[in-house]
Amino acid sequence: MSTNHALATPLSTRAQPSSEPAETRRRRLNPIEIITSRSQRKARPKIVYALVATAALFVLLLTQLGISIAVSKGAYQISSLQNSQTVLDRTQQKYTEKLGVLASPQNIANNATALGMVRNQNPVYLDLGTETVYGTPTAAATPATTPSNLIANSLLDGVPVISKSPDGTTTPATTTAPTSSSTTGAAATDSSGSSVASSANQLAAPETR
């Protein structure tokens, strides 16, 4: 009921302007009256423009909000990725450091000696182009004494050297505890076990049978 009433109201208000202009026209007839032309009336601001502008503003604000949310969501992703990068960098650096020590000439020489390898100072070359052999193939002489490594490398303390058992198989043997061991024996062993090569890092020597 009230709805009907509400609907009726605009109709009555709409009817009003038609009567009111007539009254004012009569009052202001003289001396001169500017009559707006059709085109001028057309040029007047229309409500639709205001609506479009406001709507555009809202769209703009919403988009900005959306972008802002997306960016800050990205920030979390960046943050977590950077964190994992730091951890991975750290790990990579740790293993590079270990690898550098394992790849040192001293470690290689120690292991080669432990496996009973000797230097052959009579190299022989084969020139594939001319099929020529240079040099006289000679078996390596067994050194009178096992050459020991004379070049210090304190980083190799505690790095195990492979050992050769009588049956020809090879097993990595553990060497002395690192010299940097402290009074807390357990801690030192723990530290050396992970900061230097574990036996799993050693190259397995080929078995000779």
Partner 1 sequence: MRPTTPGRGSSGHFGAAAQRSRRRRATIAGIVIFALVAVFVVRLVDIQVVQAASLNADAVGKRSISTTVYGDRGEILDANGKVLAATVLRYDITAAPKFAAGYTTKVDGKSVTYTLQQTVDQLAKATGGDSATMYKALTTDKTSLYTMLVKGVDVDAYNRVVKLGITWVYPQRATARTYPDGAVAGNLVGFVGTDGAQAGLEYEYDKCLAGTNGSETYERGLDGVKLPGSTVTTKKAVAGGTLETTINSDLQYQVQQDLNEQVTALGAVSGTAVVVKVSDGSLVAVADSGSVDPNNVSATDTGDLGSKAFTQSYEPGSVFKAMTAASLIDAGLATPTSQATVPDTRTFPFGATIGDAEYHPTEKLTLAGILATSSNVGISYLGEKMSAKQRYEYMQKFGIGTKTEVDFPGEADGILNDYTKWDQLTNYTTMFGQGVASTAVQTASIFQTLANGGVRMPLKLVKACKLADGTVIDAPSETGTRVVSQKAANDVVDMLENTIPEGTLKGMQPISGYNVAAKTGTAQVPGANGKYEAGQYVISVAGIAPAENPQYVVLVTFTKPSTMKTSFAAAPAFREIMSQVLETYRVKPSTTPLTDIPDTW
Structure tokens belonging to residue 68: 């802002």
Task: Tell me if 149 contacts partner 1 by CB under 8 A.
Answer: yes
Per CB under 8 A, the list member of 134, 168, 171, 208 interacting with partner 1 is: 134
Judged by CB under 8 A, which stretch of 15-23, 55-63, 88-96, 165-173 contacts partner 1? 88-96
Judged by CB under 8 A, which stretch of 8-16, 39-47, 56-64, 186-194 contacts partner 1? 186-194
Task: Tell me if 63 contacts partner 1 by CB under 8 A.
Answer: no
Nearer to partner 1, 9 or 189 (CB): 189
Structure tokens belonging to residue 33: 């009256």
Smallest gap from Cβ 206 to partner 1, in A, equals 22
CA 170 to CA 199: how far, in whole Å?
Answer: 12
The site that binds partner 1 (CB under 8 A) totals a number of residues, namely 51
Q: Which residues 151-180 are close enough to bind partner 1 by CB under 8 A?
A: 151-156, 180
Cα 66 from chain centre: 26
Question: If residue 41 lies in a helix (H) or strand (E), which one and from where to where?
Answer: helix 38-43
Judged by CB under 8 A, which stretch of 48-56, 58-66, 133-141, 160-168 contacts partner 1? 133-141
Q: Which one, of 170, 161, 157, 163, lies nearest residue 196 by Cα? A: 157
Residue whose structure tokens are 């530290």: 191
Check the CA dihedral 112-114-116-121 and report its sign.
Answer: positive
Structure tokens belonging to residue 139: 């078996």
Judged by CB under 8 A, which stretch of 7-15, 39-47, 58-66, 182-190 contacts partner 1? 182-190
Smallest gap from Cβ 55 to partner 1, in A, equals 29
Structure tokens belonging to residue 109: 């020489």
CA 65 to CA 70: how far, in whole Å?
Answer: 9
C-alpha Rg value of the chain to the nearest Å: 47
Per CB under 8 A, the list member of 85, 169, 194, 199 interacting with partner 1 is: 194
CB neighbour list of residue 199: distance below 8 Å, 6 or more residues apart: 160, 172, 174
Residues making contact with partner 1 (CB under 8 A): 28, 71-72, 74-76, 78-79, 90-91, 93-94, 96-97, 100-101, 103-106, 109, 121-123, 125, 127, 134-136, 138, 147, 149-156, 180-184, 186-188, 190-191, 194-195
